Chains A and B, each alone.
Chain A
Amino acid sequence: MVIIIPEIIKESVTNLMKNGERSDDRGFDDYREISLETGVIKKAEGSARVKIGNTQIMVGTKPQIGEPFSDTPNVGVLMTNSELIPMAAPDFEPGPPDERSVELARVTDRCMREAGVLDLEKLAIVEGEKVWMIFLDLHILDYDGNLMDAAVLGSMAAIMDTKIPETRVEGDEIIIDREKMIPLPIKEKALMCTFAKIGGELVVDPSLEEEQILDARISIGMREDGSICAMQKGGMKPLTKDEIIKAVSRTQKITKNLMEHLPHN
């Protein structure tokens, strides 16, 4: 299905931006309303439902015992997967993940992995043989723009909510103690901040309308200390070096506020 954005909307949104305004009256550094709940799916060992405006994602984690990758025999595995289910938008089709879905999962994964959110070495059970594999599944329920930031926020919250059974090794046996559920070994917190470039301006948290007309997009993953852990440029038009550097410094301020939405513990 082709989404037709009348040129007239593009023109009016662009003109508003040039006057320092957005079509929904937000400032350039303002997110839409954010809500975040954790522990919403009892069957999942960790879960979070995140809403940014009308964009809504359900994130769940499932730990499984599996074999480590041969090049990293003593570290656990975090697997991120996303589904842009056809429920979420009229142009999402059923079937295997398309490129948008794969990009979302991979960028989310990179942001969490490179930030060192989890101490994966602590998820090893028997070196070279058995490790915990944490499956992180993103279920996109309602798409109204800016899936990236919602995905990372939801993933971070779901990981913080996750409890896995304690394991111990006795001889050749692994004992999984479901009566002793322990939190995941969290080392770092990271979140993502996405900007859309429209009419030469960079605005944070693009709405659906803004996403459909943007020239370029940049997503920046950032740790709590303000260092960068992931980036992704998108869109059909270029960004200048100056725009990128400015986006990074704006992200440092914005992420500080965004972190407030995560559960405190």
Chain B
Amino acid sequence: MITIITNKDLGTGTEASQRADGRAFDELRPLKIEAGVLKRADGSAYLELGGNKVLVAVYGPRELHIRRLMQPNRAVLRCRYNMAPFSVDDRKRPGPDRRSVEISKITSEALTPAVFLEKFPRSTIDVFIEILEAEGGTRCAGITAASVALADAGVPMRDLVVSCAAGKADGQVVLDLSEVEDKDGEADVPVAIMPRTGEVTLLQSDGNLTAEEFEKALNLAIEGCKKISKEQKNAIIKRYGD
């Protein structure tokens, strides 16, 4: 029997009492959003958040071929969250797994309230989220980029849904958890909002928090969303002007 020993872990250890990457508790990782990056798609967006690289394509509104999904009075918004095999440390086998199926579902539910689906009965709007590189917080990055891609596709919307996570790492409530903080931390709370009304369209929580800590995390995530929202708008303005 052969044992395989790796002499160095890929992840770096967290330093006590300070965030591993030196950020303040309410500081986002460096963010970049670009709209209209693909030729064939009706709308597209590329987003980098720290080490995350996310590409989103939108097709539609277009004909829906699966009759049982068809809604007589509105369009359906379908999302597919998919990770590239090379996006993570250990190769991810291609195709949907339980995690990506769940994320696809909640992403669709996070975006749906903002879209005027009733304008397109019996049709579909397809959102394809591809994680090219993952470094913690990919579902939020996907939702944020998807809104920009929907806008780029000219889909009428009430608001640009924006998403960001907060959580608890090393006993401290912090914004926008990195991969290490997500793995070693105590809790992760991804949130999406419609910034004009402040309504929450996505909320998950994974880990242990007191009621006070949760409230703090939620507020922090909403503040993070508002910062990211500005970058979403800038990306669209950069592509289309004021």
Are B41's CB and A81's CB within 8 A?
Answer: no
Asked if B5 contacts A175 (CB within 8 A), the reply is: yes
Q: What 0/1 readout, one digit per residue, does chain B (78-93) give for beta carbons within 8 Å of chain A?
A: 0010101111111100
- Interface-forming stretch among A89-97, A212-220, A230-238, A252-260? A89-97
- Quick one: closest B residue to A53, CB to CB? B39
Shortest distance from the beta carbon of B70 to any chain A beta carbon, whole Å? 16
A106 to B53, CA, bound (A): 28
What distance in Å separates the Cβ of A128 from its nearest Cβ neighbour in chain B? 11
In the bound assembly, the distance between CA atoms of A210 and B58 in angstroms comes to 25
Are A137 and B84 CB-contacts (below 8 A) given A83-B94, A87-B55? yes
B130 contacts the other chain (Cβ, under 8 Å)? Answer: yes
- Interface contact A135-B91, CB-CB below 8 Å: yes
The answer to whether A139 and B130 have CB atoms under 8 Å apart is: yes
Is A47 in the interface zone, CB < 8 Å from B?
Answer: yes
Q: Looking at the complex, which one of B39, B51, B128 makes contact with A85 (CB distance below 8 Å)?
A: B128
Q: Is B16 an interface residue (CB 8 A)?
A: no
Whether B10 lies near A87 (C-beta < 8 A) is no
Confirm or deny: B126 has a beta carbon within 8 angstroms of a beta carbon on chain A.
Answer: yes
CB of A221 closer than 8 Å to a CB of B: no
User: B205: shortest Cβ distance to chain A, in Å?
Assistant: 26
Q: Interface on A for B, CB 8 Å cutoff? A: 1, 41-44, 47, 54, 56, 58, 60-62, 64-65, 81, 83, 85-90, 94, 96, 126, 129-130, 135, 137, 139, 141-144, 165, 172-179
Task: Give me 26 A-to-B residue pairs in the complex whose CB atoms sit less than 8 angstroms apart, sorted by A's number.
Answer: A41-B84, A41-B132, A41-B133, A43-B86, A43-B133, A43-B134, A56-B38, A58-B132, A60-B84, A61-B86, A64-B90, A83-B94, A86-B128, A87-B38, A130-B4, A135-B91, A137-B85, A137-B91, A142-B38, A142-B40, A172-B1, A173-B3, A173-B4, A175-B7, A176-B6, A178-B10
